[in-house]
Amino acid sequence: MLVQAQQKYQKHVQQGTQQRSCLRTMEAIDKIHNGLIGRAYFAKGWYGNTRKSIGIGKEAPVPAELDWDLWQGPAPRRPYMDNIHPYNWHWFKHWGTGETLNNGTHSIDLCRWALEVDYPKSVTASGGRYQFKDDWQFYDTLVTSFDYGDKMISWEGKSCNGMKYYDHTSGLTVMGTEGSVFIYGDGGSGYDVYDLKGTRTGVFKDDDTTPFYDKFDGDAPTVAHFANFIAAIRKGEKLHAPISQGNIVVTMLQLSNIAWELNRELQLDPGDGTIQNDAQAMKMWSREYEKGWAPHL
């Protein structure tokens, strides 16, 4: 619907996948597209954290500073619980979408960009809530994969275990017929190049003495992302992350959640991502809305 609204009103709409505006990431993707690692065919992203238990919530008075009705937006109304706001709503199916659409969106978006693919032929997802027994309704550990026939994307989410790969809690590796590229997902801007045997042959990163993140100004890619958006409005510059592209990755990861919920592989129409020959799964394509709050154009 956001894509339809953008097309109807002809406005610039940029998704907040700000690493598309990171100069080192843009450089790495450009090199991949120009044959740095031969034919790129597999991209794996990951995210790790040490999120704590959200416990067992109880109904409580709504904080004075919170408009609970407005906050719930189009979701059917539920009573306020003391372990939902301000962040834990991500882990409740009624309002949130789990870690896939929280942090997975960023790395899968880059995986798609690197492999130059849109919707896959099929999606699988497997995982569970393993670390704690509490009100958290989604998985804390998940592996989801997207099959394109001649290419593949995989994402691993570890919400409650900060085990690092390549000494990073998040990132992605793009593999090809002649080598691989690891693109940093945290802790700075850069990428490393590896040969087929896994030997690192190049390191390309910004000067470590230049702060990547400032608590007042934010991180460099976010600043650049806003600059790109403003330039698109003022000068007609091409958006780095138009909503038409953002919609694809969000839909893919919503499909991961459906595959996880139903515990089966979903076959898709590569043209628009709709689920094929599975009426039960396709019913989960949309949701129930609060009366009077259903979005429409």
The average pLDDT across 201-230 equals 81
pLDDT of residue 220: 85
Residue 197 lies in a domain: yes
> Model confidence over 103-134: pLDDT tens digits?
999 999 999 999 999 999 999 999 999 999 99
pTM, two decimals, is 0.95
Residue 293 lies in a domain: no
Residue 146 lies in a domain: yes
The Cα–Cα gap between 14 and 77 comes to: 30
The Cα–Cα gap between 254 and 123 comes to: 10
> Model confidence over 76-87: pLDDT tens digits?
999 999 999 999
The average pLDDT across 150-165 equals 97
Residue 86 lies in a domain: yes
- Of 59-68, 79-88, 133-142, 216-225, give the lowest mean pLDDT range: 216-225
The Cα–Cα gap between 255 and 62 comes to: 33
Q: Which of 253, 283, 278, 257 is nearest to 268 (CA)?
A: 278
Question: Quick one: which H or E segment has residue 144?
Answer: strand 141-147
Question: Phi/psi of residue 205, each to 5°?
Answer: -150, 165
CATH number at residue 133: 3.30.360.10
Q: Determine the structural domain holding residue 81 and report its residue range.
A: 2-285
Residue 50 lies in a domain: yes
Contact 66, 59 (CB under 8 A): no
Residue 88 lies in a domain: yes
The Cα–Cα gap between 89 and 92 comes to: 5
Residue 292 lies in a domain: no
Number of domains in the chain: 1
What does 263-289 look like in DSSP terms, one character per residue? TS-EEB-TTT-PBPS-HHHHGGGS---
From residue 29, how far is each of 41, 127, 149, 190 by CA, in Å? Answer: 13, 30, 21, 11
Residue 290 lies in a domain: no
Helix (H, G, I), strand (E, B) or coil at 172: strand
- How does residue 206 score in pLDDT terms, banded at 50, 70 and 90? confident
Listed in sequence order, the DSSP H helices in the chain are 2-9, 23-33, 68-72, 105-115, 220-235, 243-262, 279-282
